[in-house]
Structure 1
């Protein structure tokens, strides 16, 4: 219901009020009592509705009192107009005012509870005073009864207009804030300057956490996962930066999760289980781009497709060596060629077996039985192969720099 809807809808109350036979003298008498009725109504509301205790003092009280008087006067205008007239027109100002009142309550961060309670109290007090005046004017009991029903129906229409205004304002505010949160998320993924990020956070009414952790997962899993995460989690789901041509943005979702570092990281990874998600490292909130880029690199390395892993969450912190080794593929290829050059003189199949044995020998610090167990060969086979390797490398296997180069060159990226 929009503001125009509130003021232009046909009204059963308006038609009923126009059919009341109050007479001009009765209408004049009721109008003369409006100021006093409005004063009593405001007093009762401030006394009986906790949310408005003391809220209507000073100039605000006079303003609200005038608004109440206007609303009641609008009803009497309905009752006093000719039956042939448009019964909706006199209600327009009151309904527009009620709609605006509801929007104002939402902008002030208040729920509708207090305002609806105020309407209930106002209806009771207004009818008590107006009915006493109607009886004094000598209205028939049937007319007084109909008058009562229409007064309460009128208050119901005003409260409905306020609810509509409150709902519309919340929806509008929510959409605006969501757009600001989206822009903040995009700024973080782009790595915008800190001052720009701080301004974007302030616009979005988002209190920056200590850290943010980037999580990338299938877009279809995002909505379900969000309900289990910190409410401050950001969801920049459009125009994701740094994606390669073969990465379909519509299939990916990104979440920036606040304060998921330290012991909380284990809880985050448990939450991510079953969602085919990859989690980057926690970073100071303004530096979360680093976390995001690491996740993208991990996905490109195929860490999410390891055998037997299924939909378990991938923790990039458990794959740092692979990420480091793969950071410069060309440099790694050059290092491998240089470090493994002594194997160039043997057959390729033999060179592959020797390189595999050397790798496990370095990793297990020369423990022959452990190497044999990993390679599924006899320990004597390991001894034979290492004899070949020592012949090819000579004293270089005693050089720490050579050992470091071989360890890195033989690492599995």
Structure 2
């Protein structure tokens, strides 16, 4: 609602309202008011497409009331009362509520402004004829016209404020609903809860969603570049690192190309991109990003969890991995530490390159003969284990990470 503690009438209205209109003319104008109001409503219906045939029922009653109130308020201004000139009163209140109502019904402010323009023209035509019949002086008639259009400008501005206020209120409510939906997704809520939250938020679920974990300071800017149905959560993320202000984006992902585009958008910032999952199961994508933050070092570039699955798998049970690695390297435990390091690197490369000596030599920056010598040492310590599929599997997994 407008702030009634301060004058809301403009200087234009205050100046134009300094009219010398006698009581007889005011009475004639007031007598013409019902007919002028009907003409205004009829003209709006005929000339503004958005209102064609729409001024019926509750909406029509609201608009007719707003027109009647505005015209009555105008005559109060034209009568020259100082207190009335200082405050548009009921006319402003009705205009503000009219703007709110049109926004609530999904109608644009452009249509309402067009209706105001039509209303001003028709009201002036109806009242100017009554003023002429009453013998109003030409100078006063000019001021009278100025007052009509200044008054309509004030009311249209007040309606625009009401329209904007309603849209802002709607946007805040929808953002709260979208946040509630996002939290339900991350908390693994039941399907009926998710569908109800999505319907309340007016959110059409995509087939797949990808979770992106990134600094809260960057999240809002990144979201502006993504699909408008992307969800953003920034406070009290379940399981997110407590030492950082993190946000998560839940991004629609319909194809592999969208993932490549997403990673391109994130270049130059530390972010973690989870796997694509059915929208109801995006919690799993979010959990993967949180895990990747714990496992993968920050490089200032986005981390694609699809490219670090080995690290994620091998770090899933760190105690088990440490035990496996200790057992795999047990045959070398009596050797000097430097020798163990060289042989471990050689064995790892030999396993990963499937025994191709030249490839191992290139990987380790050594001569192929050096590789042959080291492998002979390893065979002395491991014996038949290097030919046993199960042992080779354990050694490959144990040495997969440097």
1:244 and 1:44 map into 2 onto residues whose CA distance is 62
1:21 and 1:387 map into 2 onto residues whose CA distance is 115
Q: CA deviation at 1:77?
A: 2.5
- Match of residue 377, structure 2, among 380, 388, 406: 388
Q: CA deviation at 1:63?
A: 4.9
TM-score, structure 1 length as denominator? 0.90
Show the counterpart of 1:308.
none
- Match of residue 243, structure 1, among 235, 240, 244: 240
Show the counterpart of 1:281.
275
2:235 and 2:148 map into 1 onto residues whose CA distance is 51
1:277 and 1:241 map into 2 onto residues whose CA distance is 17
Matched length: 402
Q: CA deviation at 1:284?
A: 1.2
2:68 and 2:325 map into 1 onto residues whose CA distance is 88
1:255 equivalenced with 2:249 (yes/no): yes
1:58 and 1:393 map into 2 onto residues whose CA distance is 90
Deviates more, 1:13-22 or 1:336-345: 13-22
TM-score, structure 2 length as denominator? 0.93
Show the counterpart of 2:158.
161
Maintained 8 Å contact 1:215/1:255:
yes
- Match of residue 405, structure 1, among 391, 394, 397: 394
Maintained 8 Å contact 1:42/1:61:
no
Deviations 1:126-178 (Å, cap 9, x if unpaired)? Answer: 10010001111111112211111111111111111101101111122222222
Deviates more, 1:364-373 or 1:188-197: 188-197
1:70 equivalenced with 2:64 (yes/no): no
1:137 equivalenced with 2:131 (yes/no): no
Maintained 8 Å contact 1:38/1:66:
no
- Match of residue 225, structure 1, among 222, 226, 248: 222
Q: CA deviation at 1:357?
A: 1.2
2:218 and 2:65 map into 1 onto residues whose CA distance is 53
Maintained 8 Å contact 2:69/2:94:
no
Show the counterpart of 2:265.
271
Deviates more, 1:130-139 or 1:395-404: 395-404
Q: CA deviation at 1:210?
A: 1.2
1:345 equivalenced with 2:339 (yes/no): no
**Unaligned stretches of 5+ in structure 1?**
306-310
1:293 and 1:173 map into 2 onto residues whose CA distance is 32
Deviates more, 1:126-135 or 1:213-222: 213-222
- Match of residue 122, structure 2, among 122, 125, 141: 125
Maintained 8 Å contact 1:182/1:237:
no
Matches within 5 A, 1:22-37: 22-37=21-36
